Amino acid sequence: MEKIQPYPLPTERQLPKSMADWRPNSSRAALLIHDMQRYFLDFYTADAPPIAQVIDNIYRLLSVARRLHVPVFYTAQPGDMTPQQRGLLHSLWGSGMNGSQEHKQIVPPLTPLENEWVLTKWRYSAFFNSPLLSTLHELKCDQLIVCGVYAHIGCLCTAQEAYSNDIETFFIADALADFSEEKHRLALEIAAETSSVVLSTRQAIDALEH
């Protein structure tokens, strides 16, 4: 993969209109921080948009979730996947990350706490071969707030699978990043039309706190 060129995050005025009218509720929601590992983020310019602002916005969501006792999930690829484990991912993306902390680490300040769930990520969807769905059911969470990278691939696939399992899903536009502004906007449009309510970080936090 080539370096990702800086691009601006969408403003609230630029968000697509969502088909659904769901609203995040702190007693029903879980937060999913998707693939915020050094390997994936190193394709961005660290101190430039979108990724610097995305990390800040995810941290804002994370801080509110922890304060309100909203369950927090992370996804993280294990690194050093065998050809059998990687399957067809190898055809599109090669061998992927290695097993070093330089690749696998979830970036500060998003480091998981001991009481938070870190799901091993095997395919695009966070639900694939993971306990995410069963754990959401155990926690009586029927809402999922999705943020992280990359918006049009794993984040969108996860949102659509959540919707398919009757989980109200929220796609946080300025807490997601992608390969380009065009792909980012496309992911938001598809999510708004097919699976999710698209919100800004501010809107999501306002809903959770009220």
Question: Which position among 35, 42, 56, 142 bears the catalytic label?
Answer: 35
**What are the DSSP calls for 6-24, one per residue?**
P-PPPPGGGPPPPS-----
* Cβ neighbours of residue 79 closer than 8 Å, sequence gap 6 or more: 39, 96, 97, 98, 99, 100, 103, 104
Please state, in angstroms and rounded to a whole number, the distance separating the CA atoms of residues 87 and 40.
19
Q: Nearest to residue 208, comparing CAs of 104, 98, 68?
A: 68
Helix, strand, coil: what percent of the chain each, to 5?
Answer: 40, 20, 45
Per the listing, tokens 């706490």 go with 113
To the query of whether residue 35 is one of the catalytic residues in this protein, the response is: yes
Please state, in angstroms and rounded to a whole number, the distance separating the CA atoms of residues 207 and 143.
13
Give the active site residues.
Answer: 35
